[in-house]
Structure 1
């Protein structure tokens, strides 16, 4: 087997340990969905608003009135929306710090340090009954969001830097696989007869800090990123040791040569801050592609389905919508595995195009199904099938690929700043969708997914015309593609200026 293609036990342990952070992110995304009614009831109790409706009623109707009062009281709606969306605010704020934390003490120590946040967040939510549940849960979700903003940048960065070129796509996709597995686990144990009930819901939320404990035990066994050691710190011997452990090769000359070239490039280009990256014309094309890939992931409407799937299935006439939501989670996981298998064969660009195009068609089908299900009962099956297919197409390309393609598009100098910007873009659009979807849904009704279909169509066109294939290419070769495009556009501009001058003359 040729050098650089080995999948060693050390590499497997390192990738598994890193993606525990992604599992935690997925769990935190999904955990808030299933027990919504139970949590709202406890919020209403701690706010003292349910009593307004439940006075002078029988025991049975008290429960109903309590639930009804809880669900529709403006304070409860506000605190509930905040519990869902504060997670994204935390992520938005911390995503800017990814480069700083990653370079401060290295990728491994960076992931170790931020686990303190995850454990603290888990404790805040797990012990929320000790004080005011609504405030404790919101604080815990904010801290967990802050943790996830950092981990969703550090994990793809670390995996992208340690993965052999031949497996970079498949290993990069594992970040998304861990996210969707986390979502699925949270949905299953969020069922009312497991943890999503009156007594156990604080434990359900508190468990979101559990993977951090396991990750803390495993991280000291993982080698530091050889690219970080060699290119950022200039420690060649440590980088060689790390490469030997990760790749299982005695003389990792090819990798060191590639890193030497990248280091020379990095030495020529100054350490790129976020502001200088935004201003730089050199990286403009890559940055535009990176940001649009992340926007296409979040503005596709997928989070509307993750956050509000239970409500959407109830609208579609499903008797047990929670189980349908779990079905979505299971399909989500299966099709991410399909992406892991395909991404290094079919390529990033092809899978993203197939995914976005398929989602666009599904959004149209979903709208048709929801619109006509009152007239034709079988139409509810159309809208449900469309939801399931929508998720399948998402996980084939638009779900996993944006996370690791940013690490592929940029060399070592601008990479941390680019990952930070792309992460912030991802979290900001996530927050916007989480906050506005209920209002957009109220405004557009069954036509809400027409909006997403239009966005998906635009993103598909952008990727078709502007995104190159990065499969199997070194970081140098990818940079060269963009430089070629840039030189061509500069040449065109120069020619245009010459023509203008001659026409003026």
Structure 2
């Protein structure tokens, strides 16, 4: 294997350390679902809806019935919905700060700084029974969401900048792999006989901040991004040392020359703000691709699958649907590993097309299965099989690729603003789906997946026509592809705008 392209121990350590933040995000996404009834019970007690005296059950009542009644109380429903939704709101707000935090003191120190948020959130959640649980849980979830919005941008940015070109795709997908592993861990330890019970649920929630403690120690061992050191700070010698630490004993001259070329280009173009990026026609094609990739992930119907999975498994006769749902989490993890293995061989565009097209076909099968499973028992098994396949296709492409491809599509100048906008788009669409899907499902019933099939068809066509292949290309080569396409259609106004962007920094 050519020197400088191999996976060294330091590179593995740096990537592992970074994705601990992704693991924390996944855990935080999944952990709130398992103990829902238990948490609603404590909300009810705190709000005076369900008291300790209610534990003395009457002859015609059951504890489950009382818990259900408390859980459907308007106040409990409101606070529970807020506990879930506030996480996405925090992510939406903080995603705008990714570029600022990453450039303030560097990628490594940026991740170290935001760990304060994760630890604070873990403490709020872990000690929520010491005061009003609904207030502390909502506060902790808001802080954790704010942290996850930052991490979902900082981790792919750091990994994309330290990874060798030959492994950039595989290492980039590790962010999504860590997320799904975090979700799976939360599903397993959230089972009733482990931590998802009346006594241990605060510890279950509080553990969401635990990876930040380990990551904080390991970050002191990790080299700073050489691209950040050279292109943003102009520190060539420190960038050289960082490259040697990350990739072992090799000649870093070609990598430094590539960075010099990108730095020269960055020096000629203005530091692009979020507003400038939105208004600029120069980067419109890249930005459209980046945002559509994020929308294809969140509007694919993956959240609807998780919403429906327990019902599908129950109607298929599975005696323990919770374990079948964990099975979906296992499939999630396994096929993300498949994506890690294939993304640098098959390519990003090919994997996205395969994933989106496969999900579209599964959505149609899901619709047929849900429509006829009441008439034909075997249709439930068709729905269940389509569920597993849907998740598999998601993790092949639309799950991991949108997170890291944004960093590949933009040069150094607009990259932080682009990552911030893409992150905000992802979190916003996630929030919208979470809030509106129950109403859409009630409206469309078993035909709800036809809506997602149509969306997936649109995303597949867009990917085929507009998304370029970035496999094994340098950042400069990827930018050149868009510049080449832009020259064929750009107007004199576009040319003047690009010239203004370049001369503004020179002035």
TM over 0.5: yes
Cα-to-partner distance string for 1:47-92 (whole Å, 9 max, x where unaligned): 2223699699527824123222123222222211111111000000
2:44 equivalent to 1:44:
yes
- What residue is the counterpart of 1:350 in the other structure? 350
Take 2:358 and 2:483, find their aligned partners in 1: how far apart are those partners?
31
Residue 210 of structure 2: aligned partner? 210
- Summarize the Cα distance change of 1:31–1:55 in structure 2 as closer, same or farther, 3 Å threshold: closer
SS at match of 2:412: coil
Q: Is the aligned partner of 1:63 residue 2:63?
A: yes
Question: CA offsets per residue over residues 83-119 of structure 1, 9 Å max, x none?
Answer: 1111000000000000000000000000000001001
Matched, 1:174 2:174: yes
2:130 and 2:309 map into 1 onto residues whose CA distance is 31
Matched ranges for 1:266-305 at <5 A? 266-305=266-305
Tell me how far 1:4 sits from its aligned partner: 3.5
**1:129 aligned partner:** 129
Secondary structure of the residue that 2:193 maps to in structure 1? coil
Distance 1:202 1:309, change over 3 A: farther
Q: 1:112 to 1:149 in 2, by over 3 A?
A: same
Of residues 307-316 and 349-358 in structure 1, the stretch that sits farther from structure 2 once superposed is: 307-316
Alignment of 1:244-255 (within 5 A): 244-255=244-255
Deviation at 1:315, TM superposition (A): 5.5
What is the aligned partner in structure 2 of residue 451 from structure 1? 451
Q: 1:2, CA displacement in angstroms?
A: 2.6
Task: Decide whether the 8 Å contact of 1:33 with 1:310 is kept in 2.
Answer: no
Give the structure 2 partner of residue 481 of structure 1. 481
- Counterpart Cα distance in 2 of 1:431 and 1:384: 26
CA contact 1:98–1:416 (8 Å) conserved in 2: yes
The 1:456–1:270 alpha-carbon spacing in structure 2 relative to 1, beyond 3 Å, is same
Number of residue pairs matched by the alignment: 494
Matching of residue 113 in structure 1 with residue 113 in structure 2: yes
**2:415 matches 1:415:** yes
Q: Is the 8 A contact 1:30 1:307 kept in 2?
A: no
Structure 2 equivalent of residue 466 of structure 1: 466
* CA distance, structure 2, for counterparts of residue 166 and residue 57 of structure 1: 65
Q: CA 1:11/1:376 → structure 2, altered by over 3 Å: closer, same or farther? A: same
2: distance between equivalents of 1:272 and 1:308? 42
C-alpha offsets along residues 326-356 of structure 1, whole Å, 9 cap, x if unaligned? 0000000000000000000000000000100
Report deviation, 1:318.
3.5
SS of corresponding position for 1:61: coil
Q: What CA distance in whole angstroms lies between the structure 2 residues aligned with 1:313 and 1:273?
A: 48
Aligned position for 1:440: 440
Query: How far, CA to CA, are the matches of 1:319 and 1:260 in structure 2?
Result: 61
2:197 paired residue number? 197
Which residue does 1:151 correspond to in 2?
151
CA distance in 1, matches of 2:59, 2:203: 27
Unaligned runs of 5+ in 2: 495-507
Q: Distance in 1 between matches of 2:248 and 2:55?
A: 71
* Counterpart residue number, 1:165: 165
Q: Is the CA contact (8 Å cut-off) linking 1:295 and 1:425 kept in structure 2?
A: yes
53 and 236 in structure 1: CA distance in 2 versus 1, 3 angstrom threshold: same
The match for 2:497 is none
Q: Distance in 2 between matches of 1:427 and 1:317?
A: 35
Report Cα offsets for 1:101-142 as digits up to 9, x if no partner.
000000000000000100111111111111111111111111
Residue of structure 1 in register with 2:22 after alignment: 22
Give the Cα–Cα distance (whole angstroms) in 2 for the partners of residues 321 and 75 of structure 1.
Answer: 29
Aligned-partner Cα distance in 1 for 2:208–2:307: 17
TM-align CA RMSD: 1.9
Structure 1 gaps of 5+ residues are: 495-505
CA distance in 2, matches of 1:433, 1:475: 33
The 2-side partners of 1:312 and 1:377 are apart by: 12
CA contact (8 A) 1:175 1:400 kept: yes
State the distance in 1 between where 2:75 and 2:311 align: 20
Native 8 Å contact 2:312 2:380 kept in 1? no
Q: 1:404 to 1:212 in 2, by over 3 A?
A: same
Distance (whole Å) between structure 1 residues aligned to residue 88 and residue 18 of structure 2: 21
Instruction: Report the Cα offset of residue 313 of structure 1.
Output: 3.7
Structure 2: distance between partners of 1:226 and 1:439: 48
1:492 deviation in Å?
A: 12
Moved more, 483-492 or 323-332: 483-492
- Whether 1:393 aligns to 2:393 is yes
**TM-score (normalizing by structure 1):** 0.94
Distance 1:312 1:137, change over 3 A: farther
Task: Answer with 305-314 or 412-421: which moved more.
Answer: 305-314
Alpha-carbon offset, residue 308 of structure 1: 5.9
Following superposition, the deviation at residue 304 of structure 1 comes to 2.7
SS in 2 for 1:282: coil
